[in-house]
Structure 1
């Protein structure tokens, strides 16, 4: 019997390990992808992470999706992570007289905290701190940036704005303040309740919306720890103030998300590609995974094929170094959810086949490697990459309790596949979000001799290697003492 655990949650299929695609795919679950049958097809098509959008749906709906994804993942032998995306403090217009109003260009109106309009010249906003956080000259955007206003005066209980680009404003449309740093709490009461639900249901990641500074990350991490969990936190970068502290946020968070939708509203859309590159660079400096989200294959919501521009967008995400690319409406509410995942997987595979003809990031002539001193885990990681490249190894195998060494190796983007073996099934799932890693749960992890002795047999059984292949192994010895990685071993498979 293989040393891999026999329980369904801990088994993996050969098809999963033969998938050589490095960049991972996130898909948002919704009405078009809420059944077990569709979710199973999504995983077969290449879905690595299922996103639960808590801006929509109730706990009962999310619980059904969690159970369904877990069941499909176990049946297919393909670990799939669950990403809980919290709604965050979204500011909205209140209820308007007649349900809508025309906001006329050149006219002035007043914004005031409230839930219902009682004067056609006063627009209610569900934000108490409005008069304290905005200044004259700053912009206010409504309905995803379709309406643009500018602050003309700040009063004790209201703000006068002049309309630059008008139009029809409807009930409960979103409001953005791109030039203002808002005193909103990072977590709302709804977010706190949703977080408790997510941890109770063992989600693998939690995404925090509208992050403005590192304190937002520390706050939610303290809450997670108080709830007895260590679930990683993804910082969604969708507000301009976050860009001023992007390196600090990258260090505090466990991953970053380029949330291009709200970021495009906050900034001019022409700036978003440059901001995307800056966020990806910050993630690389901190050694953290990064996700690119929003409108990647938008036309596939209604069409069976992606546009040329969308294909180029996905390709550039791969070339920019993203760990994950995310599909939202394409999978949640589109007509072709499975086809969208298949298309993204094909684009990624084609681009990576070309990309790996170029030098890997770990090349010792790269400025990133020019340091006077290295931490032990970084030394192990880059040495494993160099050894695998020099020896043309078939795989880098990381024996790791937490997956830390696998993530360190991943950030150097070796062309060699990374196999991470951990006793924790949740760690194996979490590694589904990280570039180039295949996570395998293994309940014999703590028996060092058995694990190392039988490893060649396991790798052959899984179809990863053949006799004569070379593998590079990293581990913390002795394993049963939970040591950080301190060993590199070169094995030629008998």
Structure 2
């Protein structure tokens, strides 16, 4: 089987890689898949839809050729507030210097600023902070007039045209979905994207709007809520419950809140997702130095490891793969760090390393059966747990147990298989005979023996979810591996 060259030496924590000029060719995409990428992120803030469509088409073709499900995530740019055109290419902002935001698109004086968000002056208040250039420059609003907001530089630095503006603490009326986002949602539906992530989520209503829009376009894509605003942290439980997954988007989050709070916020978000039962991605600058270097810093390696120890299902690479000079090397490095961390974690916790907390919003029957199958597998020293699932829900429940038994998941739904690429410790396999128990067990025997996962006599625990077999909510089967000639 072609899968034999893919699965060995793979971490259980999943890798999300951003597609960009450095890796968009079919050859590079395939190399990244073989190196360890599970999900490709298509950043809709850059590039055009024709190019993005070609990337998704290539991902699907490569996935079929290497016989491995791969997910595609469309990342909506959201209502990003940006500076207008400055009078100079670079403007140095000196401490205590005065700048004035004015209405319109043009400025008449050197220290005047404009932005693409027309209600900005109306919604700013005296005392509000205005963060520019990814938070490296900070101004404070001193005074307002009907047509201007006068600001003093608190933290000096250079700014450029079209750079992002963050307004921590300012209540904005900007809609969750911009007209461009709405067009991009239509594109994601037409191209059968597996996940769609919503930027700058403030409330669960933002996610409901996106879900309604996806349904209008007959898309079943799962929704990822990007947590990058203070309002999102204030409504975290409700947002996580309304989502299908969460991204800890530390770039804008580290500007919208005090950077000193980011690590604590990350732990809060990840633990909330574990409790409620949602996959969670930790993102931004994880191996940032490898955009140009062939090795990460020690701090970056520790950052990836700590995200795994926190309970992250996946870690994301952004510029490292999109524009970096070593996209394949950075994926391999992330996989190495993940494997070393997981090995240490499992050694410390021992094989019976399930998280015993019940996961909210999981049916009690599903919870009981999956937990029981995990305990059974541990007691019998089983080599694999195999979940046969219609939607992927059984596999997600197993992933959130965080036990030591590797999990294989099969489904008759290609979309479900691709979605499971984001679930911790779950290896989705396509083309399995999910509706026939005997044939499925023979299929897994052959797959496991050819991959080196299984040996003759090993035990495998099968969990068949609701909707797969008739007249049964769940079936649990304990199976002993046989060689193909003994199954004839």
Scaled to the shorter chain, the TM-score interval is over 0.9
Sort the Cα spacing of 1:159 and 1:49 in 2 relative to 1 into closer, same or farther, 3 A: same
In structure 2, distance between residues paired with 1:478 and 1:38 = 38
Give the 5 Å matches for 1:19-34.
Answer: 19-34=9-24
Deviation at 1:234, TM superposition (A): 0.7
Partner of 2:456: 467
Partner of 2:108: 118
In structure 2, distance between residues paired with 1:124 and 1:162 = 15
Deviation by residue 1:198-246 (Cα, 9 ceiling, x = unmatched) = 2211111111111111111111011111111110011111112111111
Deviation by residue 1:135-193 (Cα, 9 ceiling, x = unmatched) = 32221101111211112234433322222123333211111001223221111111111
In structure 1, distance between residues paired with 2:480 and 2:379 = 14
Partner of 2:54: 64
Q: CA RMSD in A?
A: 2.4
Q: How many residues align?
A: 481
Q: SS of 1:411's equivalent? A: helix
In structure 1, distance between residues paired with 2:475 and 2:402 = 20
Give yes or no for the alignment of 1:490 onto 2:440.
no
Q: What is the aligned counterpart of 2:74 among 56, 60, 84?
A: 84
Give the 5 Å matches for 1:352-367.
Answer: 352-359=342-349
> Contact 1:447/1:479 (CA < 8 Å) preserved in 2?
no
Q: After alignment, is 205-214 or 148-157 more displaced? A: 148-157
Deviation by residue 1:225-268 (Cα, 9 ceiling, x = unmatched) = 11111100111111121111111111111111111111111222
Give the alignment's TM-score, normalised by structure 1: 0.91
Partner of 1:217: 207
In structure 2, distance between residues paired with 1:84 and 1:19 = 28
Partner of 1:4: none
In structure 1, distance between residues paired with 2:194 and 2:48 = 19
Partner of 2:178: 188
Deviation at 1:195, TM superposition (A): 1.4
Q: After alignment, is 105-114 or 398-407 more displaced? A: 105-114
Sort the Cα spacing of 1:92 and 1:468 in 2 relative to 1 into closer, same or farther, 3 A: same
> Contact 1:94/1:117 (CA < 8 Å) preserved in 2?
no
Q: SS of 2:22's equivalent? A: helix
> Contact 1:362/1:412 (CA < 8 Å) preserved in 2?
no
Deviation at 1:306, TM superposition (A): 1.3
Deviation by residue 1:439-463 (Cα, 9 ceiling, x = unmatched) = 1223633345644676545554554
Sort the Cα spacing of 1:165 and 1:454 in 2 relative to 1 into closer, same or farther, 3 A: closer
Q: SS of 1:98's equivalent? A: coil
Partner of 2:408: 419
Q: SS of 1:50's equivalent? A: strand
Give yes or no for the alignment of 1:402 onto 2:391.
yes
In structure 1, distance between residues paired with 2:301 and 2:412 = 38
Give the 5 Å matches for 1:91-490.
Answer: 91-359=81-349, 368-369=357-358, 375-442=364-431, 444-447=433-436, 450-451=439-440, 456-457=445-446, 459-460=448-449, 463-476=452-465, 479-481=468-470, 485-490=473-478
| Structure 1 stretches lacking a partner, 5+ long | 1-10
Sort the Cα spacing of 1:64 and 1:188 in 2 relative to 1 into closer, same or farther, 3 A: same
Give the alignment's TM-score, normalised by structure 2: 0.92
In structure 1, distance between residues paired with 2:2 and 2:392 = 17
Deviation at 1:360, TM superposition (A): 7.0
In structure 1, distance between residues paired with 2:424 and 2:208 = 25
Q: SS of 1:164's equivalent? A: strand
Deviation at 1:70, TM superposition (A): 2.0
In structure 2, distance between residues paired with 1:115 and 1:308 = 44
Partner of 1:7: none
In structure 2, distance between residues paired with 1:445 and 1:396 = 15
| Structure 2 stretches lacking a partner, 5+ long | 483-488
